[in-house]
Every structure is written in C-alpha cells, then in structure tokens.
Structure 1
C-alpha cells in the first residue's frame, strides 16, 4: 500500500527515531558531566571491557579505520580512552576505557534506562514489548 505524500516511510521513521534517541542519550551523558559528540557513540556502544582494536571498532561501526582513528583521538584528548599495547600482538594497540570513560559509559547506560522507561510510559508495557519484538524480527533478517 503506497504512503500518502506527506506520510513518512518506515525507513525515514526509523532513522528519525534513531537520531532523536541518540541525541537524547548524548544530552543525558553531557548533562551528567561527560562532554562528548554523538559520533563518539560509535566507540562507546561497542568497546569491550578488556579493550578493543581500532579495526574491530571501525568494522563494528561500519566506518573506515581512519575515521574511527579520528574519533579515538578525540576520546583520548577527552581522557575517556587510552591506547595500550595488545598483550596478544605486540604490533597492535588496544583502545581501553579509562576510569573516566567507564563512568561516561555508566552515565549512558543510566540514560538509556530512563529512555526505556519513557518508551514504556508512552507505548505501555505491551506496546513496548511489541515494538521490541517487531524490531528484532527486522534485525534478524540481517539487512545491511
């Protein structure tokens, strides 16, 4: 069934929801005293507790290693991460969260929990579960 001209398509709606929620997460984290940019979530959302290689972070964020390297440089300057030698490969470096970086991630997790509560308040518990079920069904298709 075609959409009316003024009606947003599903892809646009998902994109707008993603952007809106992403900015709300950044606002919450910045409000908790951890300055950052929305693009930094490409690192924070996937960095492993033991650290991650730049190439892994870049691949996970669907970015070039050069672009990811720029984000990591910014996070090093903000003292959220450090580069350390990879104990499994002396030629490689691990990107590791500092204590400040761990606190920043914790602020992000707390902000996300608050957003989840807001979604439940808006849609109801059943509506929120249905939204998650439908989104998971889309994600299970492995669309890229």
Structure 2
C-alpha cells in the first residue's frame, strides 16, 4: 500500500511540474528533493537519496543539459564541485512546492484536518527510522 501511494504521489508531483512547463523524468526528483538552496555536493545528494554517486552523477548530467543545474567550484574546497540550481531550476522547484501544497490540500479535503495531521504524524514516525 505504501508503494502504491509513493508511486501515485510521485507521478502526481512530476505531472504538476511538467504541466507548469518544466519537463523532467520522475527520477530527477531525487536531485530536486535533496539539493540545498546554496548548492550541494554530488556525494551529499547521493547519500540523501540513497543512491550511488555514479547514479546521481547521471541525473545531475541530465539536469545540467536541461539547464536546471550547474556545477560550480565549492568555495570551501577547491577540489570539490557544488551542484547549484539555475534560475530555471529554482522555478522548477517552486512549481514542485506548489504542486505538493495542492496535493496536501486534497489530502485534507479527503481526510479532514485531524486525519491529515494524524497521517503526517505517522509518516514522520516512519521517516524518523531513516
């Protein structure tokens, strides 16, 4: 049941973002969900998403080719690169946040405010086990 809910929500988020004019694949969410506003190192993105750096690197390459991210030198370590959102990437993330807010509103409509809060509490308990 959790797998079905995860897939359904993931596709609804991607559909909302694509519908807002930001084409992408569902797998790109692994980058957008992890990247920090000031930028992130590839290894941190991979660790946060539970992926290998090689797999994350492929996603970052795709997003760089689509002008959602750029690689910049890390000011704290000249040997490292930061993955940073471009203006287009920030707009894409904003579209994702807006889509998620809309989905949360639909959950509240279906479950009521109390049911929605209970669901959030239970999901947070599951996420605390990471």
TM-score by length of 1: 0.88
Report whether the alignment pairs 1:51 with 2:11: no
Corresponding residue to 1:125 among 113, 116, 126? 113
Paired residue secondary structure (1:63): coil
Give the corresponding residue for 1:81. Answer: 69
* 5+ residue gaps, structure 2: none
Shift of residue 15 of structure 1?
A: 1.1
Shift of residue 41 of structure 1?
A: 0.5
Give the corresponding residue for 2:87. Answer: 99
User: Runs in 1 of length 4+ with deviation above 3 angstroms?
Assistant: none
Q: How many angstroms apart in 2 are the aligned matches of 1:58 and 1:139?
A: 18
Q: Which has the higher helix share?
A: 2
Report whether the alignment pairs 1:21 with 2:9: yes
TM-score by length of 2: 0.97
Shift of residue 136 of structure 1?
A: 1.8
- Cα deviation, 1:29-68, whole Å, max 9, x if unaligned, reads 0000000000001000110111000000000001010000
* 5+ residue gaps, structure 1: 1-12
